[in-house]
A and B are shown apart, each in its own frame.
Chain A
Amino acid sequence: MAFMNFPAVRIENLSFMYPGQAHHSITGINLTIAAGDRFGLFGPNGAGKTTLMGCMTGILDFTDGSIEIFGEKVSRKNRSFCSVLGYVPQEYSFYQELDPLENLEYFGAMSGLKMPAIKKKSEELLKVLGLWDVRTKQVEKFSGGMKRRVNIAISVMHEPKILFLDEPTVGVDVQTRFAIMDYLMELNRRGTTLVYTSHQLAEAQNLCNNFALIDQGNIIAHDTLEHLLAAHEAEGLEGLFIKLTGKAYRDSDV
């Protein structure tokens, strides 16, 4: 497994500016995420989390700096990094007209899997995520929690080595949140690197072993929670967050 010799993510001097905007959304980011990490990326609204996530997953085309995923360069032309990457977007990014099996069949095929592997993996995932009994029901009729689990199932169909999660538990009940967290921990135990972003800091504190705080387009802190709390004399992740980013609203500019 040659890719294990590389860090999961290596970012060097990454800057990104959206077309038509005067300022960079992220500036000169340097970041390394080790393989097998449960990495939490946090910051206030508009800090640059989604932009950084977009660049890492290849959704946004950046021109300044470089990103490597397990040694594969991320670029518009080279899509080979996609085969080791999974992405759980905040939105329900699937076809609500289809049932979970049909969604998994389509996205599995698009991930490069063949039919026998799709069938096997679909059954396994739907059973683990408690969706097997509703596998032939249209997703449109599902609750928010069930849709979140479908969202995750699709993202891990091809057994990615790194999974990017953008607020994967937003709007779900406690039971579903626990189920999702348990499943993510299980994935990580099997070797999947997790890159997680959320506003649920308590949840993040339980899940992640490494943290980065981003504000105004820059990484302002990056370490384990223990080291960060000690260095900044803060209590808990929430206290650290407020201490480093302040209490002022960040999303008042539109």
Chain B
Amino acid sequence: MFKLLSSIKKDVRILLRDKVGLLLMFLMPILLAVVITAIQNSTFELVNDNKIPLIVLNRDTGEAGKQFLASINDAGIFKVMQSLEVDKKPDFAAMMKANDALVAILIPEDFTIRIKGKAKVVAAKALKSVGLEGDSLSMEVQVDPLTMMYHPVMQESFRQSVHGALKSAVSLVESKQILNSLYLKLNDEPMPVALENEILHNTTAINQVPVSRDGSRNVPNATQHNIPAWTIFAMFFVVISLGSSVVREKLNGSFLRLKTLPSAYFISLISKQITYLIVTLIQALVIFAIGVWIFPLIHLPALNLPNDLFATFVVLLICGWCAVSFAICIGVFAKTQEQANGIGAVSIVLLAAIGGLLVPSFAMPDSFSYIIRLSPLHWCLEAFYGLFLEGGNLKDIMMNLLPLLAITILFQLITIWGLRKKNLI
């Protein structure tokens, strides 16, 4: 035990003198967690609170144009700015830039005429289909498509949401015109406003409820997603300090000196694992504490810790052990510190990417479904999500922890094989 404690003491001393390693292990993931959460949070706020800046150039003087404009306003997600541009070929790019708009839409001059024409045709067809005589109308009335201009920074999913909202607004205008047309034909008088509202605006609401295993209804936010993800990233980033430390010991001959002493090298290996496992736990504690107490102070959503804190500790322990095992493995096979740092950093980013830390795994192509499972970070993240987002307990996440343990043991075996092959133990 004295040998192990002395070895841990030595590792802690070396670690505390590795200022760059400490910075990388603590400051970098904290910055990442804060910055990425802030960015994602502002994206959510952009959609939920701030509204999307939209320029509408309404060349239509009829009621359909006004109705469309009103529907866009009613959608509640747009900050509508009306343009009075009279140029026949308006410069939308300049307009959007001048107004910081993300989207612009042009309502053409004949919008009302065409919408009404289309409504009459549809109404006539409907009446004819139920055996009532409608007006004999040309069946060729078409409404030209509206054009939505958007800023290239808008991502596909966000753009599709905007497109969907605009489409709903157009549908509402068209439905209103068709209903009015039908009502007029059948009753020879315009539809009462109350009835119109009843039909068009009294739609069935869709409630949004997050599903969790413990029955809680906490709405997941950017913090709940980002803190676990960047904590895992931080834990695996010990590869920079620990991998280099193992390489230094190989290069400076400490390993060989240990071979001539009456101590098993496994003491040194175990001491490194204990020391850095404690480091990973401290990392998690610091990042979680920032999420719980500091985030609200900087106007970010606070982190809600899982109900099952014991399960959270178990996940942290296994994630930490896996991260440490990976780092030692890299250190054993790297020939120089530069190699260990380069391979370590790149491999962590790659494993994070395929593990779903950078892009959600459900958004990845099908061909990635097997590769994802090879990343230990994926299993760590799934276990954390099971606790943080789904309110699960230890039993619920066991199927994530078992593969993680298997990968960890594999790293350990590869390390021992590498040490034997290189005649270091």
Q: Which residues of A contact B (CB under 8 A)?
A: 57-61, 79-80, 82-83, 85-87, 89, 91-98, 102, 105-107, 109-112, 114-115, 138, 154-155
**Roughly how many angstroms separate A97 CA and B17 CA in the complex, as a whole number?**
7
Cβ contact within 8 Å between A94 and B254: yes
Cβ contact within 8 Å between A106 and B7: yes
Q: Write out the residue numbers on chain B whose beta carbons fall within 8 Å of the beta carbon of A85.
A: 260
Given A80-B262, A98-B14, A112-B263: A93 and B6 interface contact (C-beta under 8 Å): no
Other than A106-B7, A110-B3, A155-B257, give 12 A-B pairs with Cβ distance below 8 A: A58-B259, A59-B423, A79-B262, A87-B260, A89-B256, A91-B252, A94-B257, A97-B14, A98-B14, A110-B263, A112-B3, A114-B2
Q: Write out the residue numbers on chain B whose beta carbons fall within 8 Å of the beta carbon of A98.
A: 10, 13-14
Q: Write out the residue numbers on chain A whose beta carbons fall within 8 Å of the beta carbon of B130.
A: none
Cβ contact within 8 Å between A93 and B261: no
Cβ contact within 8 Å between B252 and A58: no
Q: Write out the residue numbers on chain A whose beta carbons fall within 8 Å of the beta carbon of B260.
A: 57-59, 82, 85-87
Instruction: Kindly identify which residue among A60, A80, A95, A111 contacts B254, using a CB–CB cutoff of 8 Å.
Output: A95
Cβ contact within 8 Å between A60 and B257: no
**Roughly how many angstroms separate A107 CA and B267 CA in the complex, as a whole number?**
12
Q: With both chains docked as a complex, state the minimum distance between the C-beta of B158 and any C-beta of chain A, in angstroms.
A: 50
Q: Write out the residue numbers on chain A whose beta carbons fall within 8 Å of the beta carbon of B261.
A: 82, 107, 110-112
Q: Write out the residue numbers on chain B whose beta carbons fall within 8 Å of the beta carbon of A112.
A: 3, 261-263
For chain B, residues 1 to 19, give those with C-beta under 8 angstroms from any C-beta of chain A: 2-3, 6-7, 9-10, 13-14, 17-18
Q: With both chains docked as a complex, state the minimum distance between the C-beta of A115 and any C-beta of chain B, in angstroms.
A: 8
Residue of B nearest to A112 (CB): B262
Q: Which residues of B contact A (CB under 8 A)?
A: 2-3, 6-7, 9-10, 13-14, 17-18, 252-254, 256-264, 267, 423
Q: Write out the residue numbers on chain B whose beta carbons fall within 8 Å of the beta carbon of A82.
A: 260-262
Q: Write out the residue numbers on chain B whose beta carbons fall within 8 Å of the beta carbon of A59.
A: 256, 259-260, 423
Cβ contact within 8 Å between A93 and B262: no
**Roughly how many angstroms separate A61 CA and B424 CA in the complex, as a whole number?**
11
**Which one of A80, A87, A105, A106 has the highest number of Cβ atoms from chain B below 10 Å of its Cβ?**
A106
Q: Write out the residue numbers on chain A whose beta carbons fall within 8 Å of the beta carbon of B256.
A: 59, 89, 93
**Roughly how many angstroms separate A89 CA and B260 CA in the complex, as a whole number?**
10
Sample (13) of A-B pairs whose CB atoms are under 8 Å apart: A58-B259, A59-B259, A82-B260, A82-B261, A86-B260, A87-B260, A89-B256, A93-B253, A95-B14, A97-B18, A111-B262, A112-B3, A112-B263
Q: With both chains docked as a complex, state the minimum distance between the C-beta of A210 and any C-beta of chain B, in angstroms.
A: 22
**Roughly how many angstroms separate A93 CA and B260 CA in the complex, as a whole number?**
12
**Roughly how many angstroms separate A6 CA and B7 CA in the complex, as a whole number?**
34
**Roughly how many angstroms separate A83 CA and B260 CA in the complex, as a whole number?**
9
Q: With both chains docked as a complex, state the minimum distance between the C-beta of A156 and any C-beta of chain B, in angstroms.
A: 12
Cβ contact within 8 Å between A109 and B254: no
Q: Write out the residue numbers on chain B whose beta carbons fall within 8 Å of the beta carbon of A97.
A: 13-14, 17-18
Q: Write out the residue numbers on chain A whose beta carbons fall within 8 Å of the beta carbon of B423.
A: 59-61
**Roughly how many angstroms separate A60 CA and B63 CA in the complex, as a whole number?**
93
Residue of B nearest to A81 (CB): B262
Residue of A nearest to B5 (CB): A109
Q: With both chains docked as a complex, state the minimum distance between the C-beta of A60 and any C-beta of chain B, in angstroms.
A: 7
Cβ contact within 8 Å between A106 and B253: no
Top 3 A-B pairs, shortest CB-CB distance: A93-B253, A109-B6, A82-B262
Cβ contact within 8 Å between A106 and B252: no
Q: With both chains docked as a complex, state the minimum distance between the C-beta of A78 and any C-beta of chain B, in angstroms.
A: 11
**Roughly how many angstroms separate A87 CA and B9 CA in the complex, as a whole number?**
23
**Roughly how many angstroms separate A154 CA and B260 CA in the complex, as a whole number?**
12
Cβ contact within 8 Å between A91 and B14: no
**Roughly how many angstroms separate A114 CA and B5 CA in the complex, as a whole number?**
12
Residue of A nearest to B263 (CB): A110
Residue of B nearest to A93 (CB): B253
Q: Write out the residue numbers on chain A whose beta carbons fall within 8 Å of the beta carbon of B267.
A: 110
Q: With both chains docked as a complex, state the minimum distance between the C-beta of B176 and any C-beta of chain A, in angstroms.
A: 77
**Roughly how many angstroms separate A235 CA and B259 CA in the complex, as a whole number?**
39
**Roughly how many angstroms separate A93 CA and B10 CA in the complex, as a whole number?**
15
Q: With both chains docked as a complex, state the minimum distance between the C-beta of B235 and any C-beta of chain A, in angstroms.
A: 23
Residue of B nearest to A82 (CB): B262
Cβ contact within 8 Å between B253 and A110: no
Instruction: Kindly identify which residue among B3, B18, B257 contacts A154, using a CB–CB cutoff of 8 Å.
Output: B257
Cβ contact within 8 Å between A94 and B252: yes
Cβ contact within 8 Å between A110 and B259: no
Cβ contact within 8 Å between A92 and B253: yes
Cβ contact within 8 Å between B14 and A93: no
Instruction: Kindly identify which residue among B13, B18, B258 contacts A102, using a CB–CB cutoff of 8 Å.
Output: B13
Q: Write out the residue numbers on chain B whose beta carbons fall within 8 Å of the beta carbon of A92.
A: 252-253
Q: With both chains docked as a complex, state the minimum distance between the C-beta of A139 and any C-beta of chain B, in angstroms.
A: 11
Q: With both chains docked as a complex, state the minimum distance between the C-beta of A98 and any C-beta of chain B, in angstroms.
A: 6
Q: With both chains docked as a complex, state the minimum distance between the C-beta of A131 and any C-beta of chain B, in angstroms.
A: 18
Q: Write out the residue numbers on chain A whose beta carbons fall within 8 Å of the beta carbon of B259.
A: 57-59
**Roughly how many angstroms separate A85 CA and B9 CA in the complex, as a whole number?**
25
